């Protein structure tokens, strides 16, 4: 964004709502590539006030800063100079050393430490100006240059000091290189004057660079801060944003959202950085609008709430985490909302779960908001359910939905409701393109056919026959084209669980796992084994999680101690298991469904999918989970256990079609397609399946 898109005033004052610091200098610096300043007085506290803006100028715009200031010389200093007791240089340097004597225990000193690093690295250059007479150098010029070489100069009573920005009554006047000829000529004159002064070509003023002694003091201070300041580690977390370089497709997504009035859905493959894209987009929105807003981010799971909070911190934003785990969130949110409504804070960030979002407390809070709302829905497909989408805030002016699979499975009404609220899918970045452009790693697909036992097939046939009778249809393949009632849905759930936990999968899993036993970064997806009781409509507990337990116990007997990750675990237990997995203290993670959405573990190299539903959302996200990039990870492996009917099945063509659809989806983008296509064609032939039903 260039300066021309801002509606900057001609004149700013240091006090009041439309002040120099907040309304002009901070936003201008964030979009500058050069900042040049010559002043009578300078204090390090002034740079501390501008820290966030300087951070963006340096890290995002690759900018530089040049400062010329007068040393704080006293009358005694000038007397010593005039008597030739010490040279002018000695007195100037002594004065500079006083300015760089920082109290090491000050609260915000991690900011000063970071500013010092920029000085040491030559990104911020400081020169000291002294007149040839006993008078003081007292110029007060500022020059800002954006990426398109538009220039703003400002001149007035403002010094580069804390008091100048926040306490004294100061005034500056701006000139713009693009406005008119008079402005252009004025800007040109000021730029030339500054360059002459910087280069030591001004006949009335002598300039000095910072000496080596002061550089040594600066380095000592930086080292002290990094070792002793407790706030420094928090800063380093936030400054990891420097590692993020917005990718071209992410920028395209942001521009599409922006061009649609900051409304719409981003359909981006799992692992392509939807969260980072949305935060870059949010930053662009806040910078462009320059107004106070409430930003509400809603996620489906608690663990995603923590991940969003971590990413927000890296972008310099602090959010209230609203969930059942934080009993004080409402009190904190009410206090900050009052400040927001009365323009006492710039923005209010809240991250919450869907459950908290639908609560009376959150809905009451939203009704009190007097500012514009930015509403971001992570895994937006979850918001299509009627019990959720009816709560979507109509007063939210800016709306963003994120998902790898925004279309809801067998729910056109829910999908349409999402598009009515968020707007169209404004940008798509699919898995094929992400792999092709090397934003995700390629993968090999290993399909493993498994067959229902005779007992499992009998159960499958029995349930299928009952479904056909209830729906009054002729064939198994018509089931998913029919309107389903609750009784049929319950039968389908039970039938799916027989498929998910087919007994033959366990020995075949161990047969495959033995080949990679010594390797780490393995993820095993198991099926939920419990069945719905048709009389009580509740779960029969005696077989709960039998498949996951069989896997965990079997791995233990092999000398592999896995981490189990299931929904019934506490958040602390889940974090403990994930941290042990990420640190490679355990080689294998065994989960059911709760790792399907959003959880970021890029090190995963192998996924063993023992169970999968017919919903494409699930297997698309699972595949994306294992394809995230990580240092040293060049190829991923997906082991897919295909469930097929036994030899004497009465029913099964529908099962084969559903399984082969997933087979085809995984196969077509795999690196070893030539090898696995042979298996695919053999199964098509064996079960006499029309390929048109698969593609």
E-assigned strand segments in 368-411: 372-378, 396-403
Indicate the range of 159-173, 614-628, 658-672 predicted with least confidence: 159-173
- In the predicted model, what is the mean pLDDT of the chain? 82
pLDDT of residue 78: 39
Reference 276, options 234, 239, 320, 312; nearest CA is 312
Q: Return the higher-pLDDT residue of 135 and 629.
A: 629
528 or 348, which is more confident: 348
Q: CA-CA distance, 163 to 142, in Å (whole number)?
A: 17
Beta bridge partners of 629: none
Residue 539 confidence class, pLDDT cut points 50, 70, 90: very low
Residue 267: pLDDT band with limits 50, 70, 90? very high
The reported pLDDT for the residue numbered 493 is 82
Mean pLDDT (whole number) for 154-167? 60
Q: Is 105 helix (H, G, I), strand (E, B) or coil?
A: coil
> Residue 134: pLDDT band by 50, 70, 90 thresholds?
very low
- How confident is the model over 619-668, as pLDDT tens digits? 777 888 899 888 889 999 999 999 999 877 777 788 899 899 999 999 99
Instruction: Give pLDDT tens digits for 25-62.
Output: 888 998 899 999 887 666 666 677 788 788 888 877 88
Rounded-to-integer distance, Cα 305 and Cα 276, Å: 14
* pLDDT of 646: 87
User: What is the spatial distance between Cα 672 and Cα 678, in angstroms, rounded to a whole number?
Assistant: 11
Residue 109 pLDDT > 90: no
Say whether 7 sits in a helix, a strand or coil. coil
DSSP string, 515-534: GGTT---EEEEPPP---B-T
Using the predicted structure, report yes or no on whether residue 220 has a pLDDT greater than 50.
yes
Q: What is the pLDDT of residue 446?
A: 97
How far is it, in rounded angstroms, from Cα 95 to Cα 106?
21
Tell me the C-alpha to C-alpha distance, in Å, between residue 553 and each of 40, 121, 398, 550, 581: 74, 56, 50, 5, 18
The percentage of residues in the chain with a pLDDT greater than 70, rounded to a whole number, is 80
Confidence (pLDDT) at 596: 56
- What integer pLDDT is reported at residue 158 of this predicted model? 60
The band of 536, judged by pLDDT with boundaries at 50, 70 and 90, is: very low
Task: Give the length of the chain.
Answer: 695
pLDDT-based confidence at residue 107 (cuts at 50, 70, 90): very low
Residue ranges and CATH numbers for the domains of the chain are 3-239 (3.30.870.10), 244-436 (3.40.50.300), 443-453+502-693 (3.40.50.300)
Q: Is the pTM of this model over 0.75?
A: no
d(CA 475, CA 657): 13
- ∠ CA(150), CA(154), CA(159), 5° rounding? 135
Is pLDDT of 376 > 90? yes
d(CA 8, CA 408): 46
Closest CA to 70 of 161, 178, 8, 155: 161
Helices first, then strands: H and E counts in the chain: 27, 21
Reduced to 3 states, what is the DSSP secondary structure of residue 351?
Answer: strand
Q: What percent of the chain has pLDDT over 90?
A: 38
């Amino acid at each position: 964004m260039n300066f021309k898109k801002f509606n900057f005033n001609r004149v700013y004052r240091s006090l009041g709502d439309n002040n120099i610091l907040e309304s002009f200098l901070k936003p201008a610096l964030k979009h500058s590539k050069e900042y040049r300043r010559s002043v009578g007085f300078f204090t390090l506290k002034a740079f501390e006030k501008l820290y966030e803006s300087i951070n963006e100028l340096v890290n995002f715009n690759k900018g530089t800063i040049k400062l010329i200031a007068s040393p704080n010389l006293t009358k005694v200093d000038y007397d010593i100079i005039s008597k030739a007791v010490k040279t002018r240089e000695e007195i100037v340097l002594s004065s500079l050393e006083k300015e760089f004597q920082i109290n090491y225990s000050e609260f915000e000193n991690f900011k000063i430490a970071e500013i010092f690093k920029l000085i040491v690295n030559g990104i911020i250059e400081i020169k000291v100006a002294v007149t040839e007479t006993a008078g003081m150098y007292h110029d007060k010029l500022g020059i800002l240059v954006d990426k398109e070489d538009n220039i703003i100069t400002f001149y007035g009573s403002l010094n580069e000091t804390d008091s100048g920005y926040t306490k004294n009554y100061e005034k500056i006047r701006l000139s713009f290189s693009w406005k008119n000829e008079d402005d252009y000529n004025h800007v040109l004159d000021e730029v030339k004057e500054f360059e002459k002064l910087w280069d030591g070509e001004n006949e009335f003023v002598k300039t000095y660079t910072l000496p080596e002694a002061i550089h040594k003091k600066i380095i000592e201070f930086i080292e002290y801060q990094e070792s002793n300041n407790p706030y420094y580690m928090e800063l380093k977390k936030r400054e990891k944003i420097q590692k993020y370089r917005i990718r071209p497709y992410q920028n395209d997504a942001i521009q599409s959202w922006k061009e649609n009035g900051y409304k719409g859905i981003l359909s981006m493959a799992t692992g392509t950085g939807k969260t980072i894209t949305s935060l870059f987009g949010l930053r662009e929105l806040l910078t462009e609008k320059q107004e106070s807003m409430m930003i509400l981010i809603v996620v489906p799971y608690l663990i995603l709430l923590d991940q969003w909070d971590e990413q927000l911190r890296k972008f310099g934003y602090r959010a209230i985490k609203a969930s059942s785990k934080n009993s004080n969130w409402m009190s904190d949110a009410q206090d900050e909302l009052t400040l927001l409504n009365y323009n006492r804070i710039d923005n209010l960030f809240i991250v919450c779960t869907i459950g908290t979002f639908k609560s009376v407390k959150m809905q009451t809070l939203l009704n009190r908001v007097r500012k514009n709302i930015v509403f971001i829905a992570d895994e937006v497909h979850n918001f299509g359910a009627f019990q959720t989408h009816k709560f979507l805030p109509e007063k939210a002016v800016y709306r963003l939905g994120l998902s790898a699979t925004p279309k809801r499975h067998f729910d056109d009404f829910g999908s349409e409701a999402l598009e009515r609220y968020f707007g169209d899918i404004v940008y798509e970045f699919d898995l094929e393109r992400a792999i092709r452009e090397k934003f995700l790693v390629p993968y090999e697909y290993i399909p493993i056919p498994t067959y229902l036992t005779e007992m499992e097939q009998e159960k499958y046939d029995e349930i299928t026959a009952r479904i056909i009778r209830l729906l009054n249809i002729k064939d198994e393949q018509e089931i998913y084209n029919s309107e389903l009632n609750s009784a049929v849905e319950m039968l389908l759930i039970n039938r799916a669980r027989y498929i998910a936990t087919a007994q033959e999968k366990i020995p075949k899993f161990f047969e495959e796992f033995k080949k990679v036993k010594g390797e780490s970064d393995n993820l095993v997806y198991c099926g939920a084994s419990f069945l719905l009781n048709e009389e009580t409509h509740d779960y029969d507990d005696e077989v709960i999680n039998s498949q996951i337990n069989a896997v965990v116990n079997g791995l233990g007997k092999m000398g592999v101690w896995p981490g189990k990750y299931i929904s019934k675990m506490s958040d602390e237990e889940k974090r403990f298991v994930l941290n042990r997995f990420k640190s490679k203290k355990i080689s294998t993670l065994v989960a059911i469904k709760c790792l399907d959405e959003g959880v970021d573990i890029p090190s995963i190299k192998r996924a063993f999918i023992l169970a999968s539903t017919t919903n494409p959302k699930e297997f698309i996200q699972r595949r994306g989970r294992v394809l995230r990039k990580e240092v040293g990870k060049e190829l991923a492996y997906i082991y897919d256990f295909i469930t097929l009917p036994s030899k004497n099945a009465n029913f099964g063509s529908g099962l084969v079609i559903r399984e082969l659809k997933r087979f085809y989806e995984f196969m077509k983008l795999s690196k070893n397609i030539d090898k696995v296509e042979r298996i695919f064609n053999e199964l098509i032939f064996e079960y006499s399946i029309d390929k048109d039903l698969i593609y």
